[in-house]
Amino acid sequence: MTTIPIQPVQDSKVSIKNKFPLNQWYVAALSSELKDKPLGRTLLGEAVVLFRMGDGTVAALEDRCCHRALPLSSGTVESCGLRCGYHGLLYNQAGQCIEIPGQEKIPSKAKVAAHQVQERDGLIWIWFGKAENEQPTVEAPSYSVHSSPKYVYGGDVYHYNAPYQLIHDNLLDLSHLGYVHLHTIGGNAKVHMNAEMKVESEGDFVKVVRYMPDSVPPPTYTAAYPFKGNVDRWQEIEFRVSHLLIWTGAVDKDTDALDDPERGGFHMRGFHGITPETETTCHYFWTMATNPASNVEEIKLKVLDQTERTFDEDKVVIEEQYRNMLRFGPKPMIDIHVDVGANRARRVIERLIA
C-alpha cells in the first residue's frame, strides 16, 4: 500500500525551500523565454526574477526592490542590469544597486539576493543549495540532444495546480498511455499494461525500460514516420530528481535491436524539468526532439502539436487526481506492477529531504 502525503496550502510568508531536495539544479526557464523583458517566477517557494544582461548572460535576483518592495519583474531590462519600475533603482546581476536616480550616494544595504544560474543547451538552471552549499557544488546538467544534428526540437511551459511528485509518478509509469492518450501516442492499452519492464536504480537515479515488440504504431508515430506495418517499440525513462529524460520510439518490426543505442526508426526524446513552485503547485518545462526522415519542419510541428495534446490530457488527469485526493483526504492507495519506478523515485526524494 502507498500513502501519498496530501499537502496543505502553505502560508506564502513561510519559507518552504527545505520541503524539497536541495543542493540541486532546477530548471528556472527555457532559454527562449528570456528576451527583452524580465521574467518573474516562484521557484521552491522563492520569488525570483530572471533577465538577460546586455552581453546575453542570464541573471536571477530576489523579485523585490529593497526600496519599496515592488516586484523587480515589473521593471525594465537595461544593458547593465534591471531597473525597478517604481523609483528607478538599477540593480546589477549580483543584486547590488548601482544607481539611484537623483541621489549620488548609494547605501551599502541597497541590494537584493542573487541566485546562481547557468544556461546550457537551451535551458536555464538555478541552484538551490543548503546553507552550507549556497554556491554550486557541480555544474548544471547538460542535454546534448538539443544541439545534436540528428534532431530538431521545440518546447513550452505548463503550470500545474498539483504537487510536483504527481508528475514524476505520471512520467515514470507510461502504462497509462493506452488509456489517456488514445488518439496520439497511446496505442493498444493491453499491450502497454503487459509490456516487458525493467527497473534499475542507483543513488539518486532511477531508470525504467519498457519494450513492446510487434505492436501497432499509435497515431502520432504513423503521422510522422513511414512505417511499413507493425513496429517494435521502446520507452526509456530516466529520473534525475529535478528532471526526467524520456526516449521513446519505434522501428519497423524485426529491423533493429531495441537495446541498440544507435537504432534507427522514429524517435521522440523528451526533456521534462519539473520544478516545484509551492508544495501544491509546480512548473513543468518540456521539450520534445524528433528525427524526421523528410519534411523536417512539417514533421517537427506535427510532433510538437501531438506532444502538446498529450500533455494537455495529462494535466487534466493529474489536476483532477489531486483535487480528488484533497476531497477524500489521506487514504492509502494500493500499488500495482507498473508503480515500481515511481515508488523508487519517491523514496529518493524522501531520503534527500530527510
> What beta strand segments (E) does the chain contain?
24-30, 39-43, 46-52, 58-62, 76-78, 81-83, 90-91, 97-99, 114-115, 117-120, 123-128, 152-160, 196-202, 205-215, 231-239, 243-252, 266-276, 282-290
- Whose cell is 534525475? That residue is 240
What would the mean pLDDT of 154-160 be, rounded to a whole number?
A: 97
Q: What tens digit of pLDDT does each residue of 54-89 get?
A: 999 999 999 999 999 999 999 999 999 999 999 999
All three cell numbers of 217, joined, read: 504504431
What would the mean pLDDT of 100-118 be, rounded to a whole number?
A: 97
User: pLDDT value at position 197?
Assistant: 85
User: pLDDT value at position 14?
Assistant: 47
User: pLDDT value at position 189?
Assistant: 58
What would the mean pLDDT of 331-335 be, rounded to a whole number?
A: 89
Q: Is the pLDDT of residue 8 over 70?
A: no
Q: Which domains does the chain have, with CATH numbers?
A: 16-128 (2.102.10.10), 144-353 (3.90.380.10)
Q: Is the pLDDT of residue 284 over 60?
A: yes
More confident residue, 1 or 207: 207
What would the mean pLDDT of 108-119 be, rounded to a whole number?
A: 97
DSSP conformational letter for 91: E
pTM of the model: 0.92
User: pLDDT value at position 12?
Assistant: 45
Q: If pLDDT is split at 50, 70 and 90, which confidence band does 122 have?
A: very high
User: pLDDT value at position 185?
Assistant: 59
Residue-averaged pLDDT of the chain? 91
Q: Write the CA distances from 255 to 226, 230, 269, integer angstroms.
A: 14, 11, 20
Asked if 266 contacts 249 with a C-beta cutoff of 8 angstroms, the reply is yes
Strand order in the sheet with 97-99: 76-78, 81-83, 90-91, 97-99
Q: Is the pLDDT of residue 192 over 70?
A: no
